């Protein structure tokens, strides 16, 4: 199976300024290596983690999703990141997985961050999303989901298991120890790569974000981690290494035969 090449964009999101954020990303996209398959952006990459969805929320035909579609097509890359989506009278924190041909898959954040009132402004999704790229299976997740191992748990059915756990986030610096620890824990217990993509900078509410975007091996080793500044990093995930690890340490064969719906 082909290796998977992932580009991570970590940056300071301009607060509720969609135009400024998309302009910034337009400039950065020109620097993405041609060989990269996927470009991953943080949670609410065009607005910041806002509790004013009525101010910035858009439909799936809005400018942000249209930008994702045109950019994916222009650069022949998959784009992934979460967006404030208005749909059927409610709002979702929706991770969009945009393909170069205009098709897309979505995942609505399941665990809403009640500590910040997210559950008062957004509706939770109720289903997992696993996408396929070059034979790789990738589980899509958003920020607070990382704290809940049962939700992220591998399926007892080997055919339904993922190879990469992707988490896009606006995770605060004050809880960065938890972020760094949980990324490794999820990799170890699920024998999968973990790619975590966070933002940097201080948001409108004065909350600092240290970044710490990272790539973790199926054994919990930190393959790369970001400095506390805006950056772009491209990383190659090797399927042969994943396969070898799962054959040598076949822990998933002994997992309990249950999973929540």
pLDDT at 65 over 80: yes
Contact 39, 5 (CB under 8 A): no
Two structure tokens written together for 67: 């930008």
Read off the pLDDT band of 257 (50, 70, 90).
confident
pLDDT, one tens digit per residue, over 176-206 is 999 999 999 999 999 999 999 999 999 999 9
- Residue 10 placed within a domain: yes
Q: How far is Cα 172 from Cα 207, in angstroms, rounded to an integer?
A: 7
Q: How far is Cα 209 from Cα 228, in angstroms, rounded to an integer?
A: 8
- Residue 130 placed within a domain: yes
- Residue 175 placed within a domain: yes
Block residue for tokens 């090449």: 5
Block residue for tokens 């190659």: 236
Read off the pLDDT band of 260 (50, 70, 90).
confident
Two structure tokens written together for 212: 């710490």
When the pLDDT of each residue in the chain is averaged and rounded to a whole number, the result is 97
Q: How far is Cα 167 from Cα 111, in angstroms, rounded to an integer?
A: 13
- Residue 135 placed within a domain: yes
Task: Identify the domain containing residue 124 by its residue range.
Answer: 4-253
Instruction: Please identify which of the residues 16, 43, 118, 173 carries the catalytic annotation.
Output: 43
Q: Is 131 exposed, middle or buried (0-12, 13-18, 19+ CB in 10 A)?
A: buried
CATH no. for residue 148? 3.60.110.10
- Residue 235 placed within a domain: yes
- Residue 260 placed within a domain: no
Q: Is the pTM of this model over 0.95?
A: yes
Alpha-helical (H) ranges within 89-225 are 118-121, 176-190
- Residue 194 placed within a domain: yes
- Residue 45 placed within a domain: yes
Is 109 a catalytic site residue?
Answer: yes
Two structure tokens written together for 103: 């098709």
Two structure tokens written together for 186: 């999820």
Instruction: Please identify which of the residues 16, 77, 118, 143 carries the catalytic annotation.
Output: 143
Looking at the DSSP assignment, which residues form a beta bridge with residue 34?
Answer: none
Instruction: Please identify which of the residues 77, 109, 118, 184 carries the catalytic annotation.
Output: 109
Is 231 a catalytic site residue?
Answer: no
Domain count, the chain: 1
Give, rounded to a whole angstrom, the gap between the first and last alpha carbons of the chain: 30
Q: Count CB-CB contacts under 10 A for residue 4.
A: 23
pLDDT at 261 over 90: no
């Amino acid at each position: 199976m082909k290796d998977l090449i992932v580009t991570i964009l970590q940056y300071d999101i301009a607060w509720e300024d969609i135009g400024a954020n998309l302009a910034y990303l337009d400039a950065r996209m020109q620097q993405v290596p041609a060989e990269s398959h996927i470009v991953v952006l943080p949670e609410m990459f065009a607005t910041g983690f806002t509790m004013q969805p009525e101010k910035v929320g858009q439909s799936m035909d809005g400018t942000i999703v249209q930008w994702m579609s045109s950019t994916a097509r222009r650069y022949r890359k998959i784009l992934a990141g979460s967006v404030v989506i208005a749909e059927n009278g409610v709002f979702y924190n929706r991770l969009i997985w945009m393909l170069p041909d205009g098709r897309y898959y979505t995942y609505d954040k399941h665990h809403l961050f009640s500590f910040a009132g997210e559950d008062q402004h957004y509706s939770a999704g109720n289903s997992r999303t696993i996408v396929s790229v070059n034979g790789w299976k990738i589980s899509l997740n958003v920020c607070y989901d990382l704290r809940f191992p049962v939700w992220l748990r591998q399926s007892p059915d080997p055919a339904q298991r993922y190879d990469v756990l992707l988490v896009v986030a606006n995770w605060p610096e004050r809880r960065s120890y938890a972020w760094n620890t949980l990324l490794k824990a999820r990799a170890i217990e699920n024998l999968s790569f973990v790619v975590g993509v966070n933002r940097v900078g201080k948001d409108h509410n004065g909350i600092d974000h240290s970044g710490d975007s990272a790539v973790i091996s199926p054994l919990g080793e930190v393959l790369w981690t970001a400095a506390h500044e805006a950056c772009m990093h491209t990383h190659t995930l090797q399927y042969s290494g994943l396969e070898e690890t799962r054959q040598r340490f076949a822990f998933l064969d002994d997992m309990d035969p249950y999973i929540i719906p």
